Amino acid sequence: MKCTVCRGPAVIDLRRHNSNFCAEHFTKFCRDQVERAISEFDMMQPADRVLVAVSGGKDSLAVWDLLVNLGYHADGFYVGLGIGDYSDVSYDYARRFAADRSLTLHAVDVPETYGYDIPSGSRAARRVPCSACGLTKRHLFDKAAIDGGYDVVVTGHNLDDEAAVLFGNVLQWNTEYLARQLPVLAAANGFPRKVKPLVRLAERETAAYCVLSGIDYLVDECPMAEGNRHLRYKEALNDIERVSPGSKAAFYFGFLKRGMDAFRSLLNPTGDAIGACARCGAPTDAEVCAFCRLVERAGGSLPSQEPVEFTS
């Protein structure tokens, strides 16, 4: 197997691109895909202050590394979710990555600051763990970006993630979500801009990027992910991709180009009025935001002093 660019020995084959790459040209390929996603979807500008949501897994560390190598000023933000050893170990990976590269990693520990953890808090609040977790992370990422004066929040969602979400939304005809499937969400109503620069890279490619770039990441999946529907959707799409390389990208990008607009016209044009949460001040269309309601039901409490001090 030879590299399509330099004819040297290849280390990876990308069937959907009909290409093989050596380590050097695969790294360049990943960088090019990220640059292309950023410019195609107008995700950010070179001068932007960027906050990367970091979990210690391959995708978040890969996107942080890629953005720094592309010259972006990107700091990391880690949320400790209190998911036993998994949280302790994942924080170690994130910290080590940042320390080795002299990057800034902010962190908030949910049990310490808000008095609940995801496993027991989600049970008390009668929510599935991933829903309580997603709500917690979204709130804290938004808050960290606004409090820290960042222009944009970056997440490590890759092509497999986005195609699986689209697949789930199609299976259930979630028209609201189908209308908002773009990998960039504009800043609005006090929420920061959010972008997904890895959307042109598959999961297998971000893992290969980490291995070839010497990035040590946490391989274990979160123990709460078991039974997660998205994992099933990913498996189904991987089966299709195996017999028909390129299907995932065609499904996702084809929808963005040719399908999404039809659903956008179904969105409520006025939207709900946005005010400030009576407890924490975050933007919300209710009196008390969903995060504060979760904290209360999960048996935690808001810190008496706002804003939260982020530890580095």
Footprint on this chain of Zn ion (rule: CB under 5 A): 3, 5-6, 8, 22, 25, 277, 279-280, 282, 289, 292
Q: How would DSSP label each residue in 29-65?
A: HHHHHHHHHHHHTT---TT-EEEEE--SSHHHHHHHH
Enter the tokens of residue 31: 């960088």
Q: How many CB atoms sit inside 10 A of residue 73's CB?
A: 14
Work out whether 52 is an interface residue with ligand Q46 (CB under 6 A): no
Nearer to ligand Q46, 144 or 224 (CB): 224
CB of 74 to Zn ion, least distance (A): 27
Least gap, CB of 130 to ligand Q46 (angstroms):
3
Chain positions 121 to 160 lying near ligand Q46, rule: CB under 6 A, are 129-130, 133-134
CA-CA distances (angstroms) from residue 280 to 33, 49, 116?
Answer: 39, 24, 17
**Residue 8 near ligand Q46 by CB under 6 A:** no
Q: Where are the alpha helices (DSSP H) in the chain?
A: 23-40, 58-69, 84-100, 110-114, 118-124, 129-147, 159-171, 175-178, 203-213, 229-243, 247-254, 260-264, 290-297
Per CB under 6 A, the segment of 60-68, 220-228, 256-264, 286-294 that binds ligand Q46 is 220-228
129 binds, among Zn ion, ligand Q46, none (CB under 5 to 8 A by kind): ligand Q46
For 288-310, give one letter per residue: b (16+ CB within 10 A) or e: ebbbbbbbbbbebebeeeeebeb
Q: Which CB, 130 or 308, lies closer to ligand Q46?
A: 130
Of 113, 142, 102, 128, the closest CA to residue 226 belongs to 128
Binding test (CB under 6 A) with ligand Q46, winner from 224, 280, 282, 289: 224
Q: Which does 231 bind (CB under 5 to 8 A by kind): Zn ion, ligand Q46, none?
A: none
Contacted entry of Zn ion, ligand Q46, none for residue 14, CB cut-off 5 to 8 Å set by kind: none
254 binds, among Zn ion, ligand Q46, none (CB under 5 to 8 A by kind): none
Residue 7 is encoded by which pair of tokens? Answer: 């004819």
CA distance 28 to 15: 17
- Indicate if the alpha-carbon torsion angle 75, 253, 135, 39 is positive or negative: positive
CB of 165 to ligand Q46, least distance (A): 12
Q: Which of 225, 266, 274, 276 binds ligand Q46 (CB under 6 A)?
A: 225
Q: With CA atoms as reference, report the closest residue to 140 among 98, 185, 110.
A: 110
Under DSSP, is residue 67 helix (H, G, I), strand (E, B) or coil?
Answer: helix
53 binds ligand Q46 (CB under 6 A): no
- Choose the contact partner of 10 out of ligand Q46, Zn ion, none; CB within 5 to 8 A by kind: none
3-state secondary structure of 283: strand
Decide: is 61 part of the binding site for ligand Q46 (CB under 6 A). Answer: no
- Minimal distance, residue 301 CB to Zn ion, in Å: 12
Q: Which of 38, 54, 118, 280 binds ligand Q46 (CB under 6 A)?
A: 118
Residues in touch with ligand Q46 (CB under 6 A): 118, 129-130, 133-134, 222, 224-225
